[in-house]
Amino acid sequence: MRTFSLLVALILIISVTSFTSLPLTNLSSRNNRCTGSSEFSSPGGRTNMRLFGGKQAKFGIFSPAVYASKLLLGEKKLQGIRGKAISLHSGYIGDFTKWCGAYHLRTNLIKKAKTNGDILGFLV
């Protein structure tokens, strides 16, 4: 029972701090590669390049469960389970679109599933 209450307290702390944390941008004026949108000129000075970092996932209703899973299972095991679930879901979307004769919509539906997973907090 004590372990359960500690786990619930940890989930609440994580969910509260996720809403109040600020994005980590412009931490260093010398190295702007972390911001994801810095521009710099090449050694020749002729072209500008843009660096893009990874998109930060949104905090959603399932985010506390994902954080708890990270703590209980570990990052590597969670990534394996998440990858397997995404693979199965993409397969079911493909089967469904084939069954209903709209296979050309498969890619759009998979993109929509990823967007919904991000909004719900599965991708944190």
Domain end, chosen from 56, 74, 89, is at 56
Phi, psi of 50 (to 5 degrees): -115, 130
Same domain, 6 and 42: yes
Same domain, 25 and 36: yes
Same domain, 115 and 64: yes
Same domain, 26 and 67: no
Contacts 24+ apart (CB under 8 A), 86-90: 89/113
| 48 beta partners | 41
CA distance 85 to 51: 30
Same domain, 27 and 51: yes
Per-residue pLDDT, 55:
74
- Tell me which residue range forms the domain holding 4: 1-56
Same domain, 49 and 77: no
Same domain, 68 and 49: no
Per-residue pLDDT, 32:
43
Tokens at 16, concatenated: 């509260």
Same domain, 15 and 70: no
Same domain, 105 and 120: yes
Residues 40-65 have pLDDT tens digits of 444 555 555 455 566 788 999 999 99
The DSSP result for 6-46, as a single string, is HHHHHHHHHHHHHHHPPP-----SS-GGGGS--EEE-TTSS
Per-residue pLDDT, 93:
96
CA distance 81 to 124: 14
Same domain, 18 and 38: yes
Per-residue pLDDT, 102:
94
Phi, psi of 2 (to 5 degrees): -65, -40
Same domain, 100 and 44: no
Same domain, 75 and 21: no
Number of domains comprising the chain: 2
Per-residue pLDDT, 82:
94
Residues 6-42 have pLDDT tens digits of 565 556 555 545 544 444 444 444 444 444 444 444 4
Residues 104-116 have pLDDT tens digits of 999 999 999 999 9
